[in-house]
Structure 1
Amino acid sequence: MDSRLLVIALATVALAGSAALPAAAQTDPAVVAKGYKAPRNAFGQPDLSGVWSNATITRLERDPKYGERLALTPAEADAIEGASDKRNARLRANTDTSIKKVDDLPECQSGAQGPACGYNAFWTDPGTRLIRIGGEARTSILTAPANGRLPTAPAAAAGRARTQLGGNFDGPERRALGERCIVGFGGTSGPPMLPVLYNNHYQIQQTRDAVVVLVEMVHDARIIRIGGAHPPAEVRTWMGDSIGRWEGDTLVVETTNLRREQGLRGPQENMKVVERFTRVSPQQILYQFEVVDPLAFAAPVKGEEALNFTKDKIYEYACHEGNYAMTGILAGARQAEKEGKAVEGARGQVKEEGGN
């Protein structure tokens, strides 16, 4: 992002509250590097600025075979990462030029095959390593419930199915937000911020009264003001309304007023997300989140990720320029209907993007 644009964005934030730093902090000392103390910026705040990446092969939900185990053994972690390296090498190989039919195209990074693949693994960057926090490789991003699985409430599942009965190819408003270049797909924009197939970088900039998180995917700029009050519930914004406060070395962010299209794993009306950003070493920010929505989930949902420092730059994400995908998607659906064919995904559950 052009530094001049960032200055303008920060200057236009409605400044409120105080930058005072309470002493209380709730981060497990075991995950903080031995003897490490987060550096302070010019405002006396813990310095979170820089470019960070949450790219990882750790999944959002835990494989049931691990039960309630949050950490992998070193041998298990080595085996998983080794298998991932071999798969990546295979998927990045040149496409067989003898292939004549699109349906015979090989598997791509997302796991799709044939025309659903789009492009091979050369164009993606989902990460190559598991999340490691406090030296432990994790079995899942989710830490609660104890089984690392989303505890979807029965009423929410039924309501989610009803919203899809009209068909997901009826018009652009029914398509995914990423396809419409509104926010990044797969939850990468947040909150909570989740890793996807590529563009997993975040640039953090701070002033005394605001924090900006520039999301590489779709170039979303999320502005977190320090202190203040949320607007009325009827005011809904993309990525919600985020208010931060400092608790010791941790930035705690509460986000409400999210649009229903951005609910975690389906549309929800009153989801609240509480995030915690704690710099635990020169190379890592511990990112923790809690999703509060009793109507959607039968139990509290919490997760942890590692935001790892990178010297990479944020790439421009020119989503709209030359983007003919929406025209093609809807035109293809209309043609299929004329031919009396069922449109895959038009009824029932939509396949989630990003693999999480």
Structure 2
Amino acid sequence: MTLRALVLLSACLGLALPAAAQTQPPAAKASAWKAPRNVWGHPDLSGVWTNATITRLERDPRFGDRLVLSEAEARQIEGVTARAMDAAGRPTDQKTGVDDLPTCGDGSSGPACGYNAFWVAPGTKVIRIGGEARSSILVEPKNGRLPLSAAALARQRAAFGNGRLGNFDGPERRPLGERCLVGFGSTSGPPMLPVLYNNHYQIAQTGDEVMIQIEMVHDTRIIRLNSTHKPASVRQWMGDSIGRWEGDTLVVETANFRRDQTFRGATENMRVIERFTRISPQQIKYTFEVIDPATFTEPVKGEQAFNASSEMVYEYACHEGNYALHGILAGAREEERQGREMEGNRGAVKEEGAE
């Protein structure tokens, strides 16, 4: 089974993809356990954590407004995921050519399918927080779906249409992850969401700052404690994050986003409020709220589990191995040279085979 076939299967189940075993132990109740303090007297969040999970951001409509799954439902979902991953990991007939591989979930085939199952590691378990199995990362709205405004949908359609024109002109037209600038899928955030692989985060603390190193693309967030935002004219990758401690919870407010790096089509004026609370030796409860009235008609809030990991955060040498971007652009230039330019090569496009 190809990766995209797995994507389709998982989407039908309301899940993300499976991967190598990833445990998510039920957390002790906050009242029964207190986080240790570091030398600055703050709750200790340091260490390596993973948010890998097969729980999707948005809830499968079949669950309606129900956030919490029964344990039987959670085990059934995890079992389907495990069987799909097992099937995807079986050896491919060595006599099969690339162009003969099965079609992916979107109808593509062969090399257009992208990664196979060997390279992905999004997790094997649904999110469990305080022993509760979750049907979605989003907890508000109640249906666990993004409440996009009509204006936001129109903006997205316009951006998609514009993105098809000239998207092979140069690297500036390609996605940020493809250009190795930041991780794809909001893995670096904020909010920080799980993706296909590299879902590890390393947290280090001082008295004045909290650093979060993201394994994907080796992004690093620096959260300044008890500070103020930089001027709105200063817009950084991952925004401008300032934090404060409210009891055992680290509260982080982020603003000043770049227009080309926002959450699910939100505007650069969005704000994100995150809360990190260590609720057991093995788990940080991570919550977020995205505020952008120009995009969302209701509050958007989510909850995740960051689970302790004994694994290392490896260097993500994206630029060093990024041969694909050169190949994509070089292929478009070759098509133009041969006079059979494909739609999207340049801003002024012509159909392949047109006179």
TM-score by length of 1: 0.83
In the other structure, the counterpart of 1:160 is 156
Residue 117 (structure 1) aligned with residue 91 (structure 2): no
In the TM superposition, residue 105 of structure 1 has moved relative to its aligned partner by 4.6
In the TM superposition, residue 335 of structure 1 has moved relative to its aligned partner by 4.8
Structure 1 residues 267 and 111 mapped into 2: Cα distance closer, same or farther (>3 Å)?
A: farther
Q: Following superposition of structure 1 onto structure 2, how do residues 37-52 of structure 1 map, counting pairs within 5 Å? A: 37-52=34-49
Residue 229 (structure 1) aligned with residue 228 (structure 2): yes
Is the contact between residue 215 and residue 316 of structure 2 (CA under 8 Å) also seen in structure 1? yes
Structure 1 residues 33 and 232 mapped into 2: Cα distance closer, same or farther (>3 Å)?
A: closer
In the other structure, the counterpart of 1:82 is 79
Is the contact between residue 332 and residue 341 of structure 2 (CA under 8 Å) also seen in structure 1? no
Percent of paired sites with the same residue: 62
The farther-off stretch of 332-341 and 92-101 is 332-341
RMSD over aligned Cα atoms: 2.3
In the other structure, the counterpart of 2:24 is none
In the other structure, the counterpart of 1:3 is none
In the other structure, the counterpart of 1:14 is none
Residues 262-292 of structure 1, C-alpha deviation per residue, up to 9 Å, x if partnerless?
Answer: 1111252201100000000000000000000
2:101 to 92, 99, 104: 104
In the other structure, the counterpart of 1:15 is none
Please give the secondary structure, in 1, of the residue aligned with 2:73. Answer: helix
In the TM superposition, residue 324 of structure 1 has moved relative to its aligned partner by 1.2
How far, CA to CA, are the matches of 2:117 and 2:308 in structure 1?
23
The farther-off stretch of 86-95 and 235-244 is 86-95
How far, CA to CA, are the matches of 2:321 and 2:70 in structure 1?
47
Q: Following superposition of structure 1 onto structure 2, how do residues 335-350 of structure 1 map, counting pairs within 5 Å? A: 335=334, 338-342=339-343
In the TM superposition, residue 322 of structure 1 has moved relative to its aligned partner by 3.1
Q: Following superposition of structure 1 onto structure 2, how do residues 296-307 of structure 1 map, counting pairs within 5 Å? A: 296-307=295-306
Structure 1 residues 297 and 340 mapped into 2: Cα distance closer, same or farther (>3 Å)?
A: same
Please give the secondary structure, in 2, of the residue aligned with 1:159. Answer: helix
Residues 200-257 of structure 1, C-alpha deviation per residue, up to 9 Å, x if partnerless?
Answer: 0000000000000000001111100101111111110000000000000000000001
Is the contact between residue 277 and residue 287 of structure 1 (CA under 8 Å) also seen in structure 2? yes
Give the AA of the match of 1:220: D
In the other structure, the counterpart of 1:141 is 137
Residues 59-99 of structure 1, C-alpha deviation per residue, up to 9 Å, x if partnerless?
Answer: 00000010000011111111100000011111112222222
The farther-off stretch of 31-40 and 250-259 is 31-40
Give the AA of the match of 1:312: E
1:93 to 90, 98, 107: 90
In the TM superposition, residue 153 of structure 1 has moved relative to its aligned partner by 1.0
TM-score by length of 2: 0.84
In the other structure, the counterpart of 1:183 is 182
In the other structure, the counterpart of 1:26 is none
Structure 1 residues 111 and 140 mapped into 2: Cα distance closer, same or farther (>3 Å)?
A: farther
How far, CA to CA, are the matches of 2:47 and 2:305 in structure 1?
14
Structure 1 residues 88 and 343 mapped into 2: Cα distance closer, same or farther (>3 Å)?
A: farther
Structure 1 residues 267 and 247 mapped into 2: Cα distance closer, same or farther (>3 Å)?
A: closer
In the TM superposition, residue 137 of structure 1 has moved relative to its aligned partner by 0.8
The farther-off stretch of 56-65 and 226-235 is 226-235
In the other structure, the counterpart of 2:12 is none
In the TM superposition, residue 100 of structure 1 has moved relative to its aligned partner by 2.0
Is the contact between residue 160 and residue 267 of structure 1 (CA under 8 Å) also seen in structure 2? no
Give the AA of the match of 2:340: E
Q: Following superposition of structure 1 onto structure 2, how do residues 274-293 of structure 1 map, counting pairs within 5 Å? A: 274-293=273-292
